[in-house]
Each structure stands twice: as structure tokens, then as C-alpha cells.
Structure 1
């Protein structure tokens, strides 16, 4: 069994705002299509991501596909509605369900949830622009994420931050 875990929290790349399109259906903008692969390349140089968790919103899924294309081996992508609509509690619930055998996981979602998640799990605030990544390292199991009942219970520590621009 692994003794440590890495969680890369990535805000989706820049999205377009086409008129009359529902929020969940908004695609990536041209800038987002350039930035997302750069985020993948940065991640590829840091940690071997074993699973990518993703909001089902189109802009997050498109970001995930472009990120995964840069990773070798390419991890599976799992979409979960709780990452889109469940707030911090929903994201924590998804993470707590991860098998202990997974060492490195990336999560792609939306603000303000992701900034709040970094603050909760890393014990320190982070500003996540589009295509920004916050990496947390922990010796605690996934099952301990957000489970203390304390708003400031740090699960791990923030070890790296990056904003990808293509």
C-alpha cells in the first residue's frame, strides 16, 4: 500500500460564452484549447497521474481530454456530477471514495469550489485562474479528506502552483 498521495487540482481552461448556451454546455475558447495541453505537459513533468476526475461540464471534459493527451501513460477520465454541482462537500466526497492504492490523482473542475478545496485541504488559500494547477501532497489516506469537521483541517500541504499558458 502507498504511503503518500498527490492531488493535482486544476481549474478548467478558458471557456467561451456563446449566447443561448447553458452553462454545462459551454465549450473551451481558443485560448483554452491552447492552454490545456500546456497544463498537461506541466503535470507530465511532475507526477504520474493515475486517474483524472472531472466535472461533466463540457469545458471541463474538453480540458481533461487535452490534458490527458499529454500524459504517458494516459490515465482514465471519470466524470462526476458532484464536482460540478456539489461544492466542496461534493468534491471531498468524490475524493474520499478513491481506492487507497491510487497514488496520484488530478481533479478538473470550477471556481469557487476549487479555490475553497485548496484552502480546506492544503490549509492555505490559492487563486486559481483558468488552467491553474495546485498540487497537494499528503501522507493521509484519501478517506480522510475533509472528514475532520473542522473548516481548516489540512489534509496535506500545497507543494506547487502553476498557471499554464499556451
Structure 2
């Protein structure tokens, strides 16, 4: 059994003229990330491995979640392939995860997060919103075998306000 926790980065700012990878989180995004991470803290298995996109907004979201989950941020694996908007880099990252890992958490971007949630989960989402978290369970032994899984939890910030 494998569990994949998908997290879309929190709401980011377009206020400053910076490279896309350097965009920061808005205050609303910071608050939403705290809201969702606090909500899921006792509802999920603590991930054994966490991957994050290299983008500032994903890393900041990841830092908020790891603090809440008491997961050491210095153990987060930052992956260029997670800076992915279509989903193929995200899927390849998941499939390459060590099979000893039972629970994997990833911090990424849309459309990739929504596409992976819809392709591999049992619940359809028009859009996974910023700070949205979707948990999918797979009855497999190897991450390379991910196929049709079961969506066991979805948490969107709007539902918690």
C-alpha cells in the first residue's frame, strides 16, 4: 500500500516583477497553508519523504506544512522536475520514489496537481485550488506501478473558513 499526498502551492503574489520561480506567497496564501496543514496534521500519516518544486512559492508552502507536521525541512528533497505544470515531471518524480517509502508528499503547481489527482485518484476535481491537498491511496508495492488509486481525503481552504 502506498499513499500519495498532493499539495498545490499556496496563493502567490504577482505584485513584484520577478522571475516566475521567485514569486512569493500572498498573506492569504500563508494563512491558507497554515489552515490546511493544521487540519490535516492528525488525519494523515506523516510522510517519510517530501518532494518540492524549486519555486519559492512551493518551498514556502512546504516549509509551513513541514513545520506543522514536525517534519525536518532540511530533509525535503527539492526537485527541478517538480517545477512542472503539465504533470509528466510530477508523475516521473513519484514513480522514481524508493519503494521502501509508504507515504510520499509532493508540493507542486497547477495544472500538474489537478491532472495527477484526476488521473490517479477516484474523485474528479475541476481544479485543485491553491493550498489544496489531495490524498490518494494505491494498492501497490512499487511507486512505478501507480495506476488507479482511491482518493481518501481532499482538503480545500475554502471548506475550512
Q: Is the structural similarity TM-score above 0.5?
A: yes
Deviation at 1:122, TM superposition (A): 1.2
Deviation at 1:158, TM superposition (A): 0.8
Distance, in Å, in 1 between the alignment partners of 2:123 and 2:156 is 17
**Match in the other structure for 2:53:** 55
**Match in the other structure for 1:148:** none
Q: Does 1:34 align with 2:31?
A: yes
Counterparts of residues 1-166 of structure 1 (less than 5 Å)? 4-46=1-43, 47-74=45-72, 76-85=75-84, 87-126=86-125, 127-140=127-140, 141-145=142-146, 153-154=147-148, 156-164=149-157
Distance, in Å, in 2 between the alignment partners of 1:86 and 1:48 is 26
Q: Which runs of 5+ in 1 are unaligned?
A: 146-152
Distance, in Å, in 2 between the alignment partners of 1:158 and 1:9 is 11
SS state of the match for residue 160, structure 1? strand
Instruction: State the TM-score, normalizing by the size of structure 1.
Output: 0.85
Instruction: State the TM-score, normalizing by the size of structure 2.
Output: 0.88
Deviation at 1:97, TM superposition (A): 1.1
Distance, in Å, in 1 between the alignment partners of 2:40 and 2:104 is 11
Deviation at 1:102, TM superposition (A): 0.8
SS state of the match for residue 152, structure 2? strand
Distance, in Å, in 2 between the alignment partners of 1:101 and 1:43 is 23
| Deviations 1:77-127 (CA, angstroms, capped at 9, x unpaired) | 111111113631111111111111111111111111111011111154222
Distance 1:110 1:86, change over 3 A: closer
